[in-house]
Chain A
Amino acid sequence: SGIEQLHQFLDGSKTAKASFTQKVISKTGRAGQNASGTMSFLRPGKFRWEYTKPYSQLIVADGSKLWSYDKELNQVVIKPMSQALGATPAALLAGSNDFQKNFTLKEDGASDGLEWVEATPRNNEAGFERVRIGLKANLPQVMEVRDNFGQTTVLLFSSFERNPTLPADAFIFTPPKGADVVGE
C-alpha cells in the first residue's frame, strides 16, 4: 500500500539523491514555469536543493541554518532552519521520520503505476493544506503540495537513489566571493 511504501522509504533511506522538475499551478489554474534541478538529503534536517533551469539557485540546509544563494541576484540569504522550512517538499523528505507525528496519513488509491498517500498536517501552522505522494518501489516519484492559497506545487522525481554516498561537504555552504550575504 502507499502508506507501507512511505514507511519503507522513511525508515529505509538515511540519505537519498534525485533529479526533479517542479511546476507551480496557481489558484487561477495558471501553470507557472517549470524549474528543474537536483536534490539530496541526509536525514534528519540536512538537504541540498539545487535549481539549474531556468535559473540557478542553491538551497542548503545544514541542520541549523538554511542558506539560499541566487547566482543571478548575487545574494546569499541565511535563515534559521525552523522558520524557513515550513511546508516544503524538501522539509517533508528530509525531516525526521516521525512523519506520523506531524501528519495524518490516508491511502489515496493507485494510478499510473504509483500508489498514492495523502498526508494532512496535524496542526494548521504547517502552512499547507495537504500533500499527496505517489510512490513506486518504496520511493517517492511525485509529490503534490497544495498550500493554503489553493496553489499546487508538483514535483516529479527521477533517478531516485536510496542511500547513495554523498560528498562530505554536500550540506555545507560557503558563500562565493563577491556575493551579498544577508540574514541572521
Chain B
Amino acid sequence: CSPQAAKQDLPARPQRESIQRFSLEARIAIRQPGSSNTIRMNWEHAHNTDLIGFAGPLGNQLAELQRDSLGARWISADGERQEARDADQLLARLTDTPLPLDSLALWALGRVSDRAENVQRDPDNRLLLATDMGWTLRISRYENDTPNALPAMLEIEHDTLRIRLAIEAWQL
C-alpha cells in the first residue's frame, strides 16, 4: 500500500495558491560533499513564521529552527543557540549552502515563483519540473491523483547539493 495515509481518505485539497499555512512531516535525504544525512523534518509554516524540528532517524530531535518577524534562531539539542536576520543562513548549518526557506515553502506546495523557467506540468496542470531561483526542482510523486493533490516526493538541486523530500503527512 502507499507509504502515506491510504489515498482515498485524504481530505479534498483547496487550490494550492490559496494555502497560507501548513504543517508537514517529511524525511529528507541531503546529499552534498562531506556531510550528507537523512533526517526527519517537522515543519509548521505560516505567513512569515516557521517552526521546524529536525530529528534523527530514531525520532531524537537534533535541532529546531524558529523564524518570525524578529528574525531567525537555531537551537541545537545540546543547547547551542544561533541567531540570524533570516532563516536561510541558519539552514546552511544543515546544507552547507543557504536554503531559500520561502522558496521551499512554495515548492513544497507544488508551486514556483513567477520567475521560474522551463516549467513542465502534467495533464492536470500539476508541476513536474522547473528551474527557480537557481534551483532545479523535480516533483516525482503526488499524494494522490487529484488536480489539487499535494506533493509527496520532491527533489531540489543546486550545484553539488541535492535534497530529496519524502512528505508523509500534510495538515492545512
A residues whose Cβ falls under 8 Å from a Cβ of B: 22, 24, 26, 28, 30, 32-33, 35, 49, 54-57, 59, 68, 70, 72-75, 77, 84, 86-90, 124-125, 127-128, 145, 147-149, 151, 153, 180, 182-183
Contacts and interface: CB of A to CB of B under 8 A. Distances in A.
Contacts of B95: none
17 contacts: A32-B25, A33-B25, A35-B59, A70-B57, A74-B29, A75-B29, A75-B31, A75-B38, A75-B164, A84-B56, A87-B77, A89-B58, A145-B59, A145-B60, A147-B60, A180-B31, A182-B36
B49 to A, nearest CB: 12
Nearest to B28: A73
Contacts of A149: 53, 61, 64, 75, 77
Contact of A153 (B3, B60, B75): B60
Contact of B53 (A54, A72, A86, A151): A151
Given A54-B5, A73-B166, A180 B77 contact: no
Interface of B: 3-5, 23, 25, 27-29, 31, 36-38, 42, 44, 51, 53, 55-61, 64, 75, 77-79, 153, 164, 166, 168-169
B27 A70 contact: yes
Contacts of A28: 44, 51
A126 to B, nearest CB: 9
Nearest to A89: B58
Contact of B36 (A74, A75, A125): A75
Contacts of B23: 30
A72 B166 contact: yes
Contact of A88 (B25, B51, B56): B56
Contacts of B64: 149
A68 B57 contact: yes
A55 B166 contact: yes
Given A26-B53, A54-B5, A55-B166, A73 B59 contact: no
